[in-house]
Amino acid sequence: MNYAEKCVCPQLRHPETYNPDTVDLINNIKERKYWLSCLEQMVKKFVNKAEDLNPDNPKAKEQAEQSYQTFHKLIERLTLDPFVIKSLSVRTLLDFNEETLRSNNFKDAWYIQKEKESGVALLEFKDRISKIDSICDFNEKWLDLCKGVLAGNVFDWGAKAVSDILEHTNNFGFSQALETIQKRPWFKDDLDNWIVQLKKHPYATAVIFVDNAGVDFILGILPLARELLKQKTKVILTANSLPALNDVTYHDLNMYCCRAAQYCPVLKRAIATAQLITVENGQAGPCLDLTTLSPDLCNLMLDADLVILEGMGRAVHTNLYAKFKIDCVKMAVLKNEWLAQSLGAQQFSIIFTYEPAQ
């Protein structure tokens, strides 16, 4: 992809007034103070993980420290003047961090961790889809599928509350994540309305913006995509063009889909017949700006009648208030306590919104 080529999502309802960022860090001093400190702590924490995550790089810790110092200096400047960078937000700060890591020779800093977690998740994949297939009731099946996506979304190394759990708790897996997330009724809970729509009118083409590698993608997103495929829906999975945290990249996306297809005839057939398509989204950070998508994705979205935004970065930090011309589902677990409280929720509360075409 030519990274100079960026397109506006053709299904945005009001592209001329679209603002990807949910939280205003320019005018809200309290929010700015919190997020500058929070993100600096996240970047600093990577310094101690760099060697383990990149064992083939003898300079990993040194380069991570250089990246942190660059970020720290930016934070110092932003504390005095929030206009130092254009459009100050959680999104632009996370983008800056990823750019800094790449400039310090981290091509995909979390690749080994992603491979490890994805390998474990693939061992559970066949049992996961068998369990889903055993559910006869339509409503119960889709509830289980969506709970699976949300449980998978817990596995986010960019969230301190989660990284603390993963680092200090042995055998925290998919079933434990299911117990961690909020029980229904969720903080935002449009699931029943979406199930009614799914039952009434299967979609022609669904576009899913995926989030984390490992459990999130393999045990959460892929089973949901598989069920859409069984309804004859064309499914477009789209992932980052460049690495960011433990998010799925386009390179990862193709690899994991092919691996999972070895255990699933539905996926194997869908890949072979192009009912399941993978495409890069043009993004290089863990958030999502719908005005800077890849041209290939925008072309594919022209025929879509459903878009799914998954995860805090794509559905809460950004695009929480975005409106579309087509049906949209936004689902995420609120893994940051400050963000949850600012929205009137609690940590590990769930946002599941279904917004019909407008």
Domain that holds residue 246: 138-355
CA distance 198 to 196: 6
Q: Which two tokens stand for residue 23?
A: 């939280």
In a domain, 110, yes or no: no
Q: pLDDT tens digit string along 80-110? A: 999 999 899 999 999 999 999 999 999 999 9
Query: In whole angstroms, what separates CA 278 from the centre of its chain?
Result: 15
d(CA 199, CA 196): 5
Give pLDDT, residue 163: 80
267 located within any domain: yes
For residue 248, the one-letter residue type is: V
Evaluate whether residue 351 is within a structural domain. Answer: yes
Structure token digits, residue 116: 């490890």
pLDDT, mean of residues 158-176: 80
Total residue length of the chain: 358
- For range 285-301, the mean pLDDT: 98
Say if 324 falls within a structural domain: yes
Confidence of residue 171 (pLDDT cuts 50, 70, 90): confident
Q: Can you tell me the distance from the alpha carbon of 280 to that of 266, in angstroms, rounded to the nearest whole number?
A: 22
User: Against a cut of 0.85, is the pTM above it?
Assistant: yes
Q: Are strands 350-355 and 327-333 parallel, antiparallel or unpaired?
A: antiparallel
Q: Is residue 112 part of a domain?
A: no
Least confident segment among 9-18, 91-100, 145-154, 165-174: 165-174
Residue at 260 is within a domain: yes
Find the CATH number of the domain harbouring 317.
3.40.50.10880
Domain count for the chain, please give it: 1
Residue 118 belongs to a domain: no
* Coil, helix or strand at residue 17: coil
Percentage with pLDDT > 90 across the chain: 92
* Count of CB atoms situated within 10 Å of the CB of 17: 8
Q: Judge whether 180 lies within some domain.
A: yes
pLDDT at 159: 74
**Rounded Cα gap, residues 55 and 111, in angstroms:** 11
